[in-house]
Structure 1
Amino acid sequence: MQIVLIETFLDLMETRNFNRTAERLNVTQSTVTHRINALEAQFARKLFARNKGGTQPTAAGLRFLDHAKALQHQWHEATRAVETAGAYERSMRIGLQHDLAAHYAGEWLAAVRRELPATSIYLEVDYSSQMNRDLGAGDLDLAILFTPHYLPDLHYERIGDMHYEMVSNQVRRIEDVRPDDYIQAVYSPAF
């Protein structure tokens, strides 16, 4: 099975529109149709119902969705493994919280690279809930996150604090903030 068929299927599951998927994949609409038809021919099942109101997945399409995601993930893992074969002694898969990536990823990764020059580094920016699942499944070796879900056989360590600033165009001092002018941001319990 060609990975391009899987990726086209996954994109169409997201957009539910052949033209939009074609735009996003930078191909023609007929190419998207051809790829989906080829995938449907392999299964001998329709994966999408097409009509004027749009494109909806069939029961077969919905059943294939999780498998397609897993196939895509495995393909990308295999690609990374083959690309780095012989170039590095070992590899490390790291997850990093979205809020931290912009401020710390470059500097932190440069330090990791200096300390471990023979290590291939794969960085994935995500949210705590997904990184917890990836750690538990063994898809990540290390994650820097805000809200850990403690799992047996994993080591957790507090590495620092994050400070946020309240910004206002109305007042200069916190004492002058009025409840009717304040927008409360609700974060996870870890905050």
Structure 2
Amino acid sequence: MDITTAKTFLAVIEGGSFIAAARRVHVTQSTVSARIKALEDQLGKTLFIRTKSVCDLTPAGHQFHRYARAMVRAWEEAKHQVAVPDGFDDTLIVGGQYSLWNRLLLWWVPAFREAMPKVALRCDIGMPARMMRAMAEGVMDMAVIYQPEHRPGIIVRELIEDHLVMVTTDPSTSFAENYIYADWGDAFRDMHAAAFPELVTPALTLELGALGVNILLNNGGAAYFPERIIAPHLAKGLLHLVPNTPVFPYPAYVVFQENFSSPKIMERALSTLDDIAQQSQNGGLPQPYWM
């Protein structure tokens, strides 16, 4: 059995069907079916109970799951070590959501490089589902995201107790006149719908994370953004809090490999991240370069 087949097996579990797995591994559904059939033939066991809509694991599938995950992780860790650049002791692969690079991870990178100059860094950006999949497959060592999943071998720890607050460029007008819906995920959608049932069809919806602040500043309006992100703009008077509007909790988490190749490196990565996170919340970071 090759690693591609093991990854396909894991993709079926994560996606819940062969169709979803095909999208995840970028092949056709028939290719996924052929790979799983070949795997079952090799093992002499049926791994999935197939229905029209979903695939459930058989007892044999449950047993094979942990071995497939271990195989993929071992392969990725091997590639990880072989790819360490000349002159460096190790490589740390770090990911983060778009809004968490802004005013957080971008400041962590130089702090970590100063603390661990012999460790190479690879940085990535994306949404939580892709980050968690990369963590589960062992192709990422640490990620900072808003909505993590708990998976074997991965530690999840709250990093920042952030809040989503409504801000406006013009406090003299009603926020409803030029409201922009910034989408911050499932939990936010539920809280927002309960608080503002009348704002179900806004003229503009953004899924740009912290980049949406630029649209707000350039074009005017009102929207929800993390308090940590808009604090410098509030201080400059470019944005204003909208009174009598609810504040929604929006914690950020750091997720990291429990058995990273070098515990010392991971400990330093986490300690410098904790320090930058504290500065981010208490106003200790420099002003954004565009201000």
Q: Tell me if both proteins adopt one fold, taking TM over 0.5 as the criterion.
A: yes
Which SS does the other structure have where 2:249 is aligned? coil
How far 1:54 sits from its partner (Å)? 3.0
Q: Secondary structure at the match of 2:12?
A: helix
- 1:41-120 equivalence runs, <5 A: 41-84=41-84, 87-91=86-90, 93=92, 100-113=100-113, 116-120=116-120
Could you tell me whether the CA contact under 8 Å between 1:113 and 1:119 is conserved in 2?
A: yes
2:142 pairs with 1:124: yes
Shift of 1:6: 1.0
Separation in structure 2 between the aligned mates of residue 162 and residue 15 of structure 1, nearest angstrom: 30
Q: Which amino acid aligns with 2:166?
A: V
1:185 partner amino acid: P
- TM superposition score normalised by structure 1: 0.63
The residue aligned with 2:236 is none
Unpaired stretches in structure 2, ≥5 consecutive residues:
123-140, 169-173, 176-239, 253-280, 282-291
Partner of 2:165: 166
The number of residue pairs the alignment matches comes to 162
The equivalent of 1:154 in structure 2 is: none
Which amino acid is the alignment partner of residue 73 of structure 2? Answer: H
Judge conservation of contact 1:3–1:72 (CA < 8 Å) in 2: yes
CA distance in 2, matches of 1:43, 1:78: 25
Are the counterparts in 2 of residues 9 and 36 from structure 1 also a CA contact under 8 Å?
A: yes
The one-letter code sitting in structure 2 at the alignment partner of 1:26 is H
Where 1:125 maps in the other structure, the secondary structure is strand
How far is the alpha carbon of 1:40 from its aligned partner? 1.2
Query: How big is each residue's C-alpha offset from its partner over 1:57-101, in whole Å with a ceiling of 9 and x where there is no partner?
Result: 1111122222222222221111111122x6243115476786744
Instruction: Label 1:43 to 1:34 Cα distance change in 2 as closer, same or farther (>3 A).
Output: same
Structure 2 counterpart of 1:125, which letter? A
Q: Is the 8 A contact 1:46 1:60 kept in 2?
A: yes
Between 52-61 and 101-110, report the one with greater CA deviation.
101-110
Q: For 1:152-191, what per-residue CA distance to the aligned partner results, in whole angstroms no more than 9, with x for missing partners?
A: xxxxxxxxx87656325668668x52xxx52542759xx9
Residues 186 and 162 of structure 1: CA distance in aligned 2, closer, same or farther (over 3 Å)? closer
Distance change in 2, residues 1:36/1:108 (3 Å): same
Residue 14 of structure 1 pairs with residue 17 of structure 2: no
Q: Cα gap change, 1:162/1:3 in structure 2, threshold over 3 Å: closer, same or farther?
A: same
Is 1:182 equivalent to 2:246 in the alignment?
Answer: yes
Q: Do the aligned partners of residues 32 and 121 (structure 1) sit closer, same or farther apart at CA in structure 2, a change above 3 Å counting?
A: same
1:129 and 1:93 mapped to 2: Cα distance?
21
Q: Give 1:36 shift.
A: 0.7
State the TM-score, normalizing by the size of structure 2: 0.44
Percent identity reads 25
Task: Provide, for residues 141-162 of structure 1, a one-character-per-residue CA deviation record: whole Å limited to 9, x for no partner.
Answer: xx9x646xxxxxxxxxxxxx87
In 2, Cα distance between equivalents of 1:109 and 1:173: 31
Conservation of the 8 A alpha-carbon contact between 1:88 and 1:119: no
Structure 1 unmatched runs, 5+: 136-142, 148-160
- Where is the strand percentage greater, Structure 1 or Structure 2? 2
Q: Residue 87 of structure 1 aligns to which amino acid in structure 2?
A: D
Matched residues in 1 for 2:5 and 2:94: separation?
Answer: 28
